[in-house]
């Protein structure tokens, strides 16, 4: 029984138990098959969107979640919370206003007893963010490279920074001493007794270039991100063609 208006269900058992939910688009076998009252949802793919909610967009087989205003794209991708963006196969989210992009990328609780993060971002395959108001790029073993200028308005805390030039204005730069030069001709930076950043003395200059393997990995990650961005835009076009009122379609207008 589907008494609510402005719904479009295509596929075996798609929207099978919908009662008062309206303005939904479910495409694929079992798509939205447990939704009863949720409205303005777009579920595309087998077993997509099994939970009730409002203004959600789930694209991909078994993509799922609970809450409202979520955009979840990818096979078995999921979100538990509100206003989250999850893109990538098996990518997942716990909490509100979070972003997880990349295969297996995850925003999750620090431990089972801690609150779900908010305003957290994980970018890259296997990246994990588990604290609120944080951005995680890649995994612990990955190299994050900035070919241009990196501007930081707050403080910088790091155990290892490699750069040709470091300029600090009005902030705090905290570094530990390195046993090698940061670049050819320069000595590593140290913090002296007065916590002033200065040049380390009595150390031999040496220069170690990035390995070809690291450069190849960085190039491959960049290409993967480009391909993922293209896939997301293509999927967005499909979703918006089916349901122009979906919240996803208003982004970027």
pLDDT, position 160: 63
pTM score of the predicted model: 0.65
pLDDT tens digits along 213-252: 666 778 888 888 888 888 888 888 888 888 887 777 776 6
- How many C-beta neighbours within 10 Å does residue 211 have? 10
Whether 215 is in a domain gets the answer: no
What is residue 211's DSSP assignment?
Answer: P
What pLDDT, in 10s, does the model give residues 179-190? 444 434 444 455
Would you say residue 211 lies in a domain? no
Residue 227 lies in a domain: no
Give CB contacts under 8 A, 24+ apart, made by 195-200: 197/168, 197/173
> Residue 65: inside a domain, yes or no?
yes
Full DSSP string of 49-102: --S-EES-EEESTT-EEEEES-EEESTT-EEESSS-EEESTT-EEESBS-EEES
Strand-pair category, 189-191 with 197-199: antiparallel
pLDDT at 5 over 90: no
Decide if 103 is inside a domain: yes
Q: Regarding beta strands 64-68 and 53-54, do their DSSP bridges make them parallel or antiparallel, or are they unpaired? A: parallel
At 81-106, the pLDDT tens digits run 999 999 999 999 999 999 999 999 99
pLDDT: which is higher, 157 or 149: 149
DSSP letter for 245, please. T
Count up the domains in the chain and report the number. Answer: 1
Say which residue the tokens 């918006």 belong to. 240
- Residue 122 domain boundaries: 8-140
Identify the CATH number of the domain in which residue 27 sits: 2.150.10.10
Residue 158 inside a domain? The answer is: no
pLDDT of residue 164: 64
The pLDDT of residue 50 is 78
Report which secondary-structure segment, H or E, holds 241. Answer: helix 212-242
Whether 1 has a pLDDT exceeding 60, the answer reads no
Average pLDDT of the residues in 61-72: 94
Distances from the Cα of 203 to the Cαs of 156, 162, 174, in angstroms? 24, 16, 19
Report how far residue 233's alpha carbon sits from residue 156's, in angstroms, rounded to the nearest whole number. Answer: 34
Please say whether the beta carbons of 24 and 44 come within 8 A: no
**Which of residues 205 and 71 earns the better pLDDT score?**
71
DSSP string, 173-191: EE----SS-SSTT-PPEEE
Q: What is the pLDDT of residue 237?
A: 84
Domain assignment present for residue 128? The answer is: yes
Residue 61 falls within a domain, yes or no? yes
């Amino acid at each position: 029984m589907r008494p609510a208006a402005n719904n479009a269900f295509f596929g075996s058992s798609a929207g099978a138990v919908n009662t008062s939910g309206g303005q939904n688009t479910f495409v694929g076998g079992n798509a939205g098959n447990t939704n009863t009252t949720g409205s303005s949802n777009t579920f595309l793919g087998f077993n997509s969107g099994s939970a009730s909610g409002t203004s959600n967009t789930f694209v991909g087989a078994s993509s799922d979640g609970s809450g409202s205003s979520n955009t979840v794209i990818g096979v078995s991708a999921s979100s538990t919370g509100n206003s989250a963006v999850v893109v990538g196969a098996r990518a997942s989210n716990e909490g509100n206003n979070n972003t997880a992009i990349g295969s297996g990328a995850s925003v999750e609780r620090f431990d089972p007893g801690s609150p779900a993060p908010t305003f957290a971002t994980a970018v890259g395959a296997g990246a994990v963010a588990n604290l609120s108001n944080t951005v995680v790029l890649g995994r612990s073993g990955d190299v994050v490279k900035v070919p241009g200028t990196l501007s930081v308005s707050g403080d910088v805390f790091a155990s290892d920074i490699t750069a040709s030039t470091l300029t600090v204005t009005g902030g705090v730069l905290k570094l530990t001493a390195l046993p090698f030069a940061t670049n050819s001709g320069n000595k590593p930076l140290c913090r002296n007794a007065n916590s002033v950043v200065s040049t380390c003395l009595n150390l031999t200059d040496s220069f170690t270039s990035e390995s070809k393997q690291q450069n190849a990995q960085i190039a491959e990650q960049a290409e993967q991100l480009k391909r993922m961005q293209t896939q997301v835009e293509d999927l967005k076009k499909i979703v918006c063609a089916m349901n122009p009122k979906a919240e996803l379609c208003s982004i970027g207008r």
